[in-house]
Amino acid sequence: MSASAESLIADIPAFAPHARPATLLRPTASTPGVRDSSIGGPLLWPADEPWPVCRAPHLMEVREKLSDEERETWQRIDSDMEERHRRNPGRGYEVTAEEARIQHQIMAGASMLDKITWERCRWVGDTSGPGVPMVPVVQLYSRNVPGEHWPAGMDVLQVLWCPNDHSELPGQPYYSGPTVELRYRSSSAVETVLNPPRPDRADEGYLPQPCAVDPVEIVDLPERDELPEDLYDEGCRWADARGIEYHRALACRSGWKVGGWPSWHLTDLIPIDCSCGARMRLFLTMESSNDGPDIVVGRFGELRIFTCPTDLSHPIRLNIQ
């Protein structure tokens, strides 16, 4: 038996209660149709059903030119800082408390200073316009991705997002990224298909290239924070003896994934709870890549969708790592 989560469980049965089924989607560039499972492909969307539009505030960059006096003051502070470093190379580039106060005053709450144009830049929520049409991200048929997450009578899952960044979305604490919608439907109920509108404003990183999927079912295991310490150590020793890493090879498998366990590689474990009090489960992972769908979320990270294990109608939660 190869070094897999199944073989680990066979050797260390204590891992069995922690195992979760998952499906790796393995997208490749293609031209899928509406009756195919796909990433970034066309959706089986009824012609008489309105296409979803995002009306949440979109983050828009606003630039403000520094006055001549502000620019000269900032340049003088930079010059003084460089001179102090030249005299004492063993120390870093530092500003005094008074200089930091003046810079803070010049920035006036802006997040960045462009020293080429000498503009301070800030991000604000923009609600002007009629809203932005959502774009297709994922379409999955139950025949390709079986599991317990399908509502009765439904065999198609569709995931759409707004191709723009948002922050402080209702019900999404500590999240900044695209708004996301999930739709389930019965393929047999769709006779004619809608040709969706295209967004007039979009971040190119949120426009996935069409891909077919090649699903493979796996068993996924959790990382350190979800396991007893001694069991985690035993799993790492088992993996090391076979020349693999426990994380990502056996646990929290990376890639476009349905189900399984989330990785908390950038932060400590963040328990995500539903409004009903239930601990939510990882439902879908969408991964940044330079090939295939060719999308970028966060700092080239993963956007994860969590759902309530007791009621799929409860609001989803979003997280980026």
DSSP 69-121: HHHHHHHHHHHHHHHHHHH-TTS-----HHHHHHHHHHHTT-SEEETTTTEEE
Which residue type, as a one-letter code, is found at position 96?
T
Mean pLDDT of all residues in the chain?
94
Largest CA distance in the chain: 76
**Residue pLDDT, tens place only, 66-101:** 999 999 999 999 999 999 999 998 888 999 999 999
Q: Nearest 5 degrees, angle CA 150-CA 297-CA 163?
A: 80
**Residue pLDDT, tens place only, 186-195:** 999 999 999 9
**pLDDT tier, 129 (very low <50, low <70, confident <90, very high otherwise):** low
**pLDDT tier, 135 (very low <50, low <70, confident <90, very high otherwise):** very high
Percentage with pLDDT > 70 across the chain: 99
Percentage with pLDDT > 90 across the chain: 84
| Segment 107-120 mean pLDDT | 93
| Segment 280-306 mean pLDDT | 96
CA dihedral 8, 13, 17, 19 (to 10 degrees): 10
pLDDT at 1: 52
pLDDT at 102: 96
Q: How far apart are CA 186 and CA 156, in angstroms?
A: 6
CA proximity to 33, closest of 43, 25, 23 = 43
Q: How far apart are CA 166 and CA 172, in angstroms?
A: 10
- Is the pLDDT at 153 greater than 80? The verdict is yes
